[in-house]
Structure 1
Amino acid sequence: MSQFISGYLLIHSNHDYNCNLLLKSITRKRTGELLRKLFEILKGAPEGLQAREALNALESQVTLSAYESGNYESPGERRFEKIVRFATVDCVKAGWLLKHKGTWTLTPTGLAAYDLYADPESFYKEAVKLYNAWKASQPGPNAAPSSDTPSLEQEESEKESSIIFEQAEEQAWTKIEQYLQAMNPYEFQDLVAYLLKAMGYHVAWISPPGKDGGVDILAYNDPLGTRPPRIKVQVKRVSQKVTVEGLRSFVSLIGNGDVGLFVSTGGFTKDAEEFVRAQESRKVTLISADKLVDLRIAHYGKLDDMARRRLPLTPIYFLTPQT
């Protein structure tokens, strides 16, 4: 299910174009070569890459054949991208690759597989084998046959819905991120304050323009602030991930009776997340853009009209892909 696109779309398993050419024209060896190069790129980005960024990097580092660089007649989609996306479905179900709101990240299992299967054809064959093992374990009529070489039609039909879904999610999330990044910093600060109110907290203070001393919002559990904890919030509308150094000064402001919320549209580095987890006396929660949007969706019904206009969202429902 996707919550992020304005409008409604139903994913069908029938083909809008002749995908048979896809797998017939690309060998497993070639697919394995593309996948291993993709994994090499993702190895260099342990915190993940946006799908578009990863695909662009892959295209720049391989030589595409005339067939791969061409487009399908309908709907005009590039073959290269479809080939790679089809193959990554196997990698996801093999447990080698994670996809979350358009970000692709290798798992420890995926890193191990990259080192273990140096031969491109063996690499992809193992991914297909694990995909089919996963498929066979699923209940119902969509389970895969025992053979590890299902028909082209079956393989394409199973994966097409998944690809449509992930591309829609990527597009939707990209638009939301762009919208948040384009907001005035103080409007974004208000957006966070509105969310806290919708969650039942009482916002006592919002920083006016100018120096804020490291705290942008103060909130409490009750109108008079008599029930702890006091909630201190710092809001950052940035594109880069916040590092440990970017957290230290804020964490130092969190007392024993406080809870700190650090909101960053750019997210946080893994070191920053580990730094917060290691705090023994200071309670700090990190909120990235995707977590902020998830919280907003969960409490959307309690936002007033003005708060909703800050970030208007329309839910959309998909048939759940079977892959």
Structure 2
Amino acid sequence: MADVTKARTGHLIRKLFEILIAQPDGMKAADALKALEQAVQLTDYEAGDYSSGGRRFERIVRFATVSCVKAGWLIKHKGVWSASDEGKAAFASIKDAEAFYRQAEKLYWKWRKAQPAALEEDEAEEAAEKSAVITLEQAEEMAWKEIEDFLAEMPPYEFQDLVAELLKAMDYHVAWVAPSGKDGGVDVIAYNDPLGTRPPRIKVQVKRNANSPRIDVVGLRSFMAVLGDGDVGLFVALSGFTKDAELEARQSHRRITLLDTTKLVELWTTHYAKLDDGARRRLPLKPVWFLVGED
């Protein structure tokens, strides 16, 4: 990255944090990079491509964000980037762009030297490690986007069946799955035993609404209204839930669990070995191993 100064990198990273801080729920990496590109004037060098392929701008920013992650300022999870509380504090206290980035690098090397195979500061070693990290995160982002798109395009009743199959793999006994038509606010009913003699009864609402607004308090309360005193509620929504809805679920006297796309897929992978072949075909996944730097 010799063609990009520390000051320029700092300017890009501070602008990225400004964008992320305005989005408390985080942003998909691709959206964050696009927003950053629109917010700054790229140099001719940044706007160009590497001879090996790939845009320089994206590589420059991704390379710099590795230090921010290790500094504890930036959180990357399932392709979503968000500023941590420490990152927000650093953004507020370090106004100079170059100083902001240099502090992130300083914290990166502090982390690096604390690792079992600690090395002295070496630009070549740093570049190799950060390149490995970037390769992995781009692969994760691509894989996650494919999974999200696959689920978003799944017919609603097939998605409902997928949730039912997951419950079976988690050793619950699915007693009823709603047929097409009105369902009264409940899509799946499950129990802890085959006869439904042991409480609680689990009522599930499924929303394959990936491109819709997040479920708000009103939507959550509508589902909670169909829960009886002995029921546990499970609300699955690809769009996710607003902060207020999540707070409502935590504070409610009703027992209710909220699953967004991330949590749903995490449960699917955790219990994948217990899914039968038919269930696996609903969302077929395969782990891939990458050689990466130390965490």
Q: Smaller-chain TM-score range?
A: over 0.9
The reply on whether 1:252 has 2:229 as its aligned counterpart is no
Match of 1:174 among 145, 167, 177: 145
**Cα offset for 1:252?**
2.2
Q: Secondary structure at the match of 1:25?
A: coil
Corresponding residue for residue 264 of structure 2:
292
Which residue of 2 is the match for residue 235 of structure 1?
A: 206
CA distance in 2, matches of 1:101, 1:321: 18
Q: Name the structure 2 match of 1:163.
A: 134
Any idea what the Cα deviations from partners look like across 1:45-103, whole Å, max 9, x if unmatched? Answer: 100000000000000110011111110000x1111000000110010011111000100
Structure 2 counterpart of 1:276, one-letter code: A
- Judge conservation of contact 2:68–2:104 (CA < 8 Å) in 1: yes
Structure 1, unmatched stretches of 5+, are 1-21
CA distance in 2, matches of 1:320, 1:261: 37
Point out 4+ residue stretches in structure 1 off by more than 3 angstroms. none
Deviations 1:124-182 (A, max 9, x none): 01000111111111112xx242xxxx332122012011000000000000000000000
Match of 2:106 among 123, 129, 132: 129
Give the distance between the partners of 1:130 and 1:305, measured in 2 at CA.
47
Does structure 1 residue 270 correspond to structure 2 residue 248? no
2:224 partner amino acid: V
Structure 1 residue 213 corresponds to structure 2 residue 184: yes
Q: 1:194 to 1:164 in 2, by over 3 A?
A: same
Partner Cα distance (1:318, 1:227) in 2: 44
Bigger mean CA offset, 208-217 vs 163-172 = 208-217
Q: Is the 8 A contact 1:205 1:218 kept in 2?
A: yes
Distance 2:122 2:285 in 1: 40
> d(CA) in 2 for partners of 1:137 and 1:294?
30
Provide the C-alpha distance between the structure 1 equivalents of 2:22 and 2:226, rounded to a whole number of angstroms: 35
Are 2:129 and 2:292, in contact at CA under 8 Å, matched by a contact in 1? Answer: no
Structure 1: distance between partners of 2:174 and 2:50 = 54
20, 30, 45: which is aligned to 2:23?
Answer: 45
> Which deviates more, 248-257 or 176-185?
248-257
What one-letter code is carried by the residue in structure 2 that aligns with 1:247?
A: L
SS state of the match for residue 310, structure 1?
coil
| Cα separation, partners in 2 of 1:51 and 1:257, compared to 1, 3 Å | same
Identify which of 16, 21, 26 aligns with 2:4. 26
Q: Deviations over 1:234-282 (max 9, x none)?
A: 0000123222222111122222211110011111222221111111x21
How many residue pairs get aligned? The number is: 293
- Tell me the residue number matched to 1:11: none
Structure 2: tracts of 5 or more residues without a match: none
* Stretch deviating more after TM superposition (62-71 or 305-314): 305-314
Shift of 1:320: 4.1
Partner of residue 77, structure 1:
54
The residue identity in structure 1 corresponding to 2:260 is: S
Higher relative contact order (CA 8 A, sep 6+): 1
Q: Using the alignment, how far apart are the partners of 1:242 and 1:163 within structure 2?
A: 33
1:192 counterpart letter in structure 2 = V
Q: Secondary structure at the match of 1:286?
A: strand
SS of aligned partner of 1:118: coil
Amino acid at match of 1:286: L
User: TM-score normalized by structure 1?
Assistant: 0.89
CA distance in 2, matches of 1:101, 1:244: 25
